[in-house]
């Protein structure tokens, strides 16, 4: 009788283990922000300007490997299987730097931190206050950005940028592409600001 009970318990445990092993998690998908290769700008080139982008600060709930979207005014969704291919903050910094370099037609744009020998003339600080939205609907980018003279540590220009962008598609790729588009628009504003302070 005891052997029968033990065998039954062993069989039940084996079934549980096999059932657990048979439940497979869906594979994760990875996404990256991209700079624009087709930007058109009416800004005059600044080939001799040197710019440092960063540090960029982002809200804590966005500074994670999972992509975050909103589901309501006070609620978010953390997509466990929709992830960033690199640090979100780093991607924002690098995308802005690449866009600004393209807009001003100068290779002398670096990402914080930089070597002392590569210290730029102007530093762009960006505080991201919001950078999310509803998948398949929209993305809102809300930032405060500031241009500082590195040599004097003097603030030359501070601006508030906020804009909502429609998402042209229902999948996560379309959502991430819209975030890249939002950074392109922000880059254009920053490039205009750099042009203004450089010509003062």
Residue from 89, 114, 108, 92 nearest 184 by CA: 92
Percent of the chain with pLDDT over 70: 86
Looking at the predicted structure, is the pLDDT value of residue 149 above 60?
yes
For the sheet containing 66-72, what is the strand order? 29-31, 75-84, 66-72
Q: What is the pLDDT of residues 44-99, one digit of tens each?
A: 888 889 999 999 999 999 999 999 999 988 899 999 999 999 999 999 999 999 99
Q: Are β-strands 138-149 and 66-72 bridged in parallel, bridged antiparallel, or unpaired?
A: unpaired
Q: How many CA atoms lie within 13 A of 51 on its CB side?
A: 33
Domains of the chain: 2-198 (3.40.50.10610)
pLDDT-derived band at 1 (thresholds 50, 70, 90) equals very low
DSSP track, 117-138? GG--SEEEEEEEEEEEEETTTE
Supply the mean pLDDT for the chain. 89
Looking at the predicted structure, is the pLDDT value of residue 189 above 80?
yes
What is residue 85's three-state secondary structure?
coil
Quote the tokens at residue 177.
């592409």
pLDDT-derived band at 22 (thresholds 50, 70, 90) equals low
Tracing tokens 């592409």 back to the chain, one arrives at 177
């Amino acid at each position: 009788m005891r052997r029968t009970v033990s065998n039954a318990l062993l069989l039940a445990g084996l079934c549980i283990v096999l059932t657990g092993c048979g439940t497979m998690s869906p594979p994760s998908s990875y996404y990256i922000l991209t700079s624009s290769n087709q930007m058109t700008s009416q800004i005059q080139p600044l080939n001799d300007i040197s710019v440092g982008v960063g540090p960029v600060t982002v809200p804590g709930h966005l500074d994670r490997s999972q992509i975050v979207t909103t589901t309501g005014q006070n609620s978010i969704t953390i997509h466990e299987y929709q992830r960033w291919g690199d640090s979100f903050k780093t991607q924002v910094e690098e995308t802005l730097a690449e866009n600004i370099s393209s807009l001003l037609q100068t290779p002398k744009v670096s990402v914080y931190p930089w070597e002392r020998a590569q210290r730029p003339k102007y530093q762009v600080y960006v505080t991201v206050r919001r950078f999310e939205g509803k998948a398949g609907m929209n993305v809102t980018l809300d930032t405060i950005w500031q241009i500082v003279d590195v040599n004097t540590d003097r603030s030359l220009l501070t601006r508030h940028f906020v804009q909502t962008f429609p998402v042209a598609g229902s999948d996560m790729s379309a959502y991430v592409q819209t975030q890249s588009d939002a950074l392109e628009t922000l880059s254009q504003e920053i490039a205009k600001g750099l042009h203004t302070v450089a010509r003062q």
